[in-house]
Chain A
């Protein structure tokens, strides 16, 4: 059962082949036996899960259940859950229990989904390898000596190891797509403002966006149907009708215009990965798409621009963790300054502190114009590149990640090499565009992801493009050995 997709499980539940309770028990059993290897969960919620499953079974029996009723899934531990610990993988929130649900969590509850637990991640979503978690690194199910990517490494690994058919995730610079690529699963970062950020712990507010990770594009569509929509509690969410993302999955790709940015296909790209991408593009041509080379001339600025804006916002967003009202507090503080210094010093990990420092510096008097303002100006140029490109093409394709998964510890001592792991995904966040990672091959038995970037609010087309590809390929159906 665990290899089934959400769509298949939904049908099975409808047909009465199994109950949600049975499904939930099965996944809980898998997690308890297998997750020691992967460490993809921080918190498990078996009691709540089984209670939700029972409710879903009742509503299925009563005939008033939606497609998602009774489907087990997991939430990244960045989404606040009423009454259940929410840590953001940080020591500073190790004892934090929110008295409210994130809008995303609330929406899955209303849809009847069964939350199995909260998935591991990089601390405050800062990282690309899941090694910055206070709860220890997540291991990649394809190679447990390797990282799952990050920051949503727990969600991606859990889906890859079939510990959950789908999981929520968030993406600030690639945190859905890069781990999806490294774990061989499908992930979607929607347009900024498509999904409410209420109750999602902020890293960089102008870049953060929630989205699904699942086995297939079809499942991502089902999850996005639940997640998307305007929320009065989030002023940056956009009041725009939500289409049925499952509706257009099978649309023909005849005449689809694909753009390949020359800046993504340079000599620097791993030839083995380039080969996978070329093969994928050929599949699309067979499906009727036309391919043109395009240019995104400011692409090389993405990483430096991002590493000014994201730390600047995080330095301010993380100020609330001051040990006054909730969260970790140091022992025996001598005075206010001591309370702040030691609580934050002991509560935050190295990478988080590094970014707070960088961001504080970038916003400081005398440096603000040179860093933050300049970065905002360049951010507009990066966005304009995309706007221009979408006059000519419908989707843009490239690699999700410059490499396949790498060894644990390989990049932890060199932050810049770690930051470059998101070189292809960051520009989408800066522009606020939707992007997907779709499994498109393997190099040395390690998954490769195809990055598909869409125009604003064009998630339905992205899902259609990914789904048609998954109808003619089986990369997404491959599982790590032993799964």
Chain B
């Protein structure tokens, strides 16, 4: 049977506020356990939450960025359950009236096609603390530093049809929250966490199959692997005549498998009800407009503009617009160099490769946009060839100076003196009699391919510095005469 995968994602994003959502404690990551937990975070008797307005602003920003409905009124509710790292015995969340209503996100797939994925809702809530099971023999340590960190939970529609699409969606959200400056999106530190609801149905069937929820997968790669594992597990199960049970499963990255954590029957009844300690959040249209006015150009807007303005392929435009810093870097280079295609090739090629190799963020790049522009100008004015430019780039990367300095001190200037090139060509022709003979006997269709040998020899003799265009011209003239 042909199966169709149905995936919905619930993404928890830690908002980059200075203080917690209901208390004044710092949200900084990595402090000594329990040093960033006030009596409010600790759930002491008689203490009360006060809403952090910055968290609201960030949530509204996100909502507007995905064209979602922002209701004038949203309500905080208590989600009740017992767990040692949940100090109050309830999590303050939103249930019936979330701050962000229905919206959508456009994703670009590897083949350059796009899909629109629905976002059901996004709501504000407080993060729980952490239970530390290692280091405490037979006991559990509780670190409440994370307690009360603001979270935006973004719930997608079951619109995703493959692990690849899920990753594209996740990356799009990641890109968006970083553009908006509402989260660093650092999955390793838990700033962005993902639960995936996965189900299968026979292709063509309308009804959804029974889903399993995979909890807290903490990297893009693991999300993809966990979904792929789960898809295979469910297909195997269904094809063997079994049934998928509704349950929560945990992904084990060391074994690359998902395991049952709890069944639907064991699930908590959270007894949601409006939190009587907090008033409903009421947002007036002027406030929403002021947030709208503060939005930057968003990734999908940039992507479309790059295609139109710079004539880039959808794939290149997508790569360049995913990170705000990359997009800005690219635009600086493209505008100053006046050649967007060349700029795109260098930013997506050499630069991205070097960053990746050295595990650096763009902000840490040893080669600035301005420096790269200088290098590209030297290609454009034929001072160096594209190939030599890569050598110059490596030198720039290693801090040996800017492009002009390196070309000068290393003597990499392209030889464009036609006399010098002619001499080299003559030398090569003289030294390769059999190749010359073959070339001259070949028909026109085969000749261009055979020319490559001679170009290579001349370039080699010039140590790469001969102007390839001129080499070609002179060779053709001499060989065809």
Q: Is the CB of A98 within 8 A of B44?
A: yes
List A contacts of B44 (CB < 8 A).
80, 98, 100, 320, 325-326
List B contacts of A78 (CB < 8 A).
46
| A235 interfacial by beta-carbon distance below 8 Å | yes
Residue of A with least CB distance to B142: A324
List A contacts of B49 (CB < 8 A).
235
Which one of A79, A200, A202, A319 contacts B89 once the chains associate, using CB atoms below 8 Å? A319
For A199, A324, A336, the residue with the greatest tally of chain B CB atoms inside 10 Å of its CB is A324
| A151 interfacial by beta-carbon distance below 8 Å | no
> Given A324-B84, A324-B142, A365-B269: A316 and B46 within 8 A (CB)?
no
Q: Is the CB of A363 within 8 A of B50?
A: no
Which one of A201, A340, A360, A368 contacts B46 once the chains associate, using CB atoms below 8 Å? A201
| B88 interfacial by beta-carbon distance below 8 Å | yes
Distance in angstroms from A36 CB to nearest chain B CB is: 28
Q: B263-313: which have CB < 8 Å to A?
A: 269, 271-273, 276-279
Which one of B42, B46, B140 contacts A80 once the chains associate, using CB atoms below 8 Å? B46
Q: Is the CB of B82 within 8 A of A322?
A: yes
| B146 interfacial by beta-carbon distance below 8 Å | no
Q: B61-85: which have CB < 8 Å to A?
A: 78, 80, 82, 84
Residue of A with least CB distance to B278: A235
List A contacts of B80 (CB < 8 A).
315-316, 319, 363
Q: A147-201: which have CB < 8 Å to B?
A: 197-201
Complex Cα distance, B276 from A268, in Å, reads: 35
Which one of A88, A313, A364 contacts B276 once the chains associate, using CB atoms below 8 Å? A313
Complex Cα distance, B272 from A235, in Å, reads: 20
Q: Is the CB of B45 within 8 A of A96?
A: yes
Q: Is the CB of B276 within 8 A of A363?
A: no
For B46, B80, B88, B277, the residue with the greatest tally of chain A CB atoms inside 10 Å of its CB is B46
> Given A235-B278, A316-B271, A364-B271: A322 and B89 within 8 A (CB)?
yes
Q: Is the CB of A320 within 8 A of B48?
A: no
Complex Cα distance, B44 from A199, in Å, reads: 9
| B366 interfacial by beta-carbon distance below 8 Å | no
Complex Cα distance, B42 from A368, in Å, reads: 28
Q: B434-476: which have CB < 8 Å to A?
A: none
List A contacts of B84 (CB < 8 A).
322, 324, 336
Interface string of B159-191 (1 = CB under 8 A from A): 000000000000000000000000000000000
Q: Is the CB of B45 within 8 A of A88?
A: yes
Q: Is the CB of A98 within 8 A of B43?
A: no
| A86 interfacial by beta-carbon distance below 8 Å | yes
Interface residue tally of chain B, by bracket? 20 to 34
Q: Is the CB of B276 within 8 A of A236?
A: yes
| A68 interfacial by beta-carbon distance below 8 Å | no
> Given A100-B39, A319-B89, A320-B88: A198 and B273 within 8 A (CB)?
no
Q: Is the CB of B50 within 8 A of A233?
A: yes
Interface string of B315-344 (1 = CB under 8 A from A): 000000000000000000000000000000
Complex Cα distance, B53 from A232, in Å, reads: 13
Distance in angstroms from A422 CB to nearest chain B CB is: 19
Residue of B with least CB distance to A318: B89
List A contacts of B271 (CB < 8 A).
315-316, 360, 363-365, 368
Q: Is the CB of B276 within 8 A of A205?
A: yes
Q: Is the CB of B142 within 8 A of A235?
A: no
| A478 interfacial by beta-carbon distance below 8 Å | no
Complex Cα distance, B330 from A182, in Å, reads: 80
Q: Is the CB of A325 within 8 A of B87?
A: yes
**What is the predominant secondary structure among interface residues of chain A facing chain B?**
loop
| B90 interfacial by beta-carbon distance below 8 Å | yes
Interface residue tally of chain A, by bracket? 35 or more
List A contacts of B42 (CB < 8 A).
325
Complex Cα distance, B45 from A467, in Å, reads: 36
Complex Cα distance, B80 from A78, in Å, reads: 23
Distance in angstroms from B57 CB to nearest chain A CB is: 17
Which one of B39, B43, B273 contacts A363 once the chains associate, using CB atoms below 8 Å? B273
Distance in angstroms from B356 CB to nearest chain A CB is: 44
List A contacts of B277 (CB < 8 A).
202, 205, 235-236
Q: Is the CB of B279 within 8 A of A236?
A: yes
Residue of B with least CB distance to A340: B82
List A contacts of B89 (CB < 8 A).
316, 318-320, 322
Q: Is the CB of B46 within 8 A of A98?
A: yes
> Given A235-B279, A319-B88, A322-B82: A312 and B45 within 8 A (CB)?
no
Distance in angstroms from A207 CB to nearest chain B CB is: 8
For B82, B84, B89, B271, the residue with the greatest tally of chain A CB atoms inside 10 Å of its CB is B271
Q: Is the CB of B48 within 8 A of A197?
A: yes
Interface string of A37-60 (1 = CB under 8 A from B): 000000000000000000000000
List B contacts of A197 (CB < 8 A).
46, 48
List B contacts of A88 (CB < 8 A).
45
List A contacts of B272 (CB < 8 A).
363
Which one of A93, A236, A322 contacts B45 once the chains associate, using CB atoms below 8 Å? A93
List A contacts of B39 (CB < 8 A).
98-100
For B90, B277, B278, the residue with the greatest tally of chain A CB atoms inside 10 Å of its CB is B277
Interface string of A214-236 (1 = CB under 8 A from B): 00000000000000000011111
| B47 interfacial by beta-carbon distance below 8 Å | yes
List B contacts of A365 (CB < 8 A).
269, 271
Distance in angstroms from A348 CB to nearest chain B CB is: 13
| A102 interfacial by beta-carbon distance below 8 Å | yes
Complex Cα distance, B88 from A324, in Å, reads: 11
| A142 interfacial by beta-carbon distance below 8 Å | no
Q: A348-378: which have CB < 8 Å to B?
A: 360, 363-365, 368, 372
Residue of A with least CB distance to B144: A325
Complex Cα distance, B142 from A368, in Å, reads: 32
List B contacts of A324 (CB < 8 A).
84, 87, 142
Q: Is the CB of B276 within 8 A of A98?
A: no
Which one of B46, B142, B273 contacts A312 once the chains associate, using CB atoms below 8 Å? B273
For B80, B82, B276, the residue with the greatest tally of chain A CB atoms inside 10 Å of its CB is B276
Q: Is the CB of A372 within 8 A of B273?
A: yes
List B contacts of A198 (CB < 8 A).
46-48
Residue of A with least CB distance to B40: A233
Complex Cα distance, B90 from A315, in Å, reads: 11
Distance in angstroms from A355 CB to nearest chain B CB is: 15
Interface string of B394-409 (1 = CB under 8 A from A): 0000000000000000
Complex Cα distance, B45 from A88, in Å, reads: 10
Residue of B with least CB distance to A88: B45
Besides A80-B45, A236-B279, 9 other A-B contacts (C-beta < 8 A): A79-B46, A86-B45, A96-B45, A197-B48, A232-B50, A234-B48, A235-B278, A318-B89, A368-B273
A/B interface sample: 13 pairs, CB < 8 A: A79-B46, A88-B45, A98-B39, A98-B44, A100-B47, A199-B47, A201-B45, A233-B48, A316-B271, A316-B273, A319-B88, A319-B89, A363-B272
A interface residues (Cβ-Cβ under 8 A, vs B): 78-80, 86, 88, 93, 96, 98-100, 102, 197-202, 204-206, 232-236, 312-313, 315-316, 318-322, 324-326, 336, 340, 360, 363-365, 368, 372
Closest 7 CB pairs of A and B: A319-B89, A363-B271, A206-B276, A205-B276, A320-B43, A199-B46, A201-B45
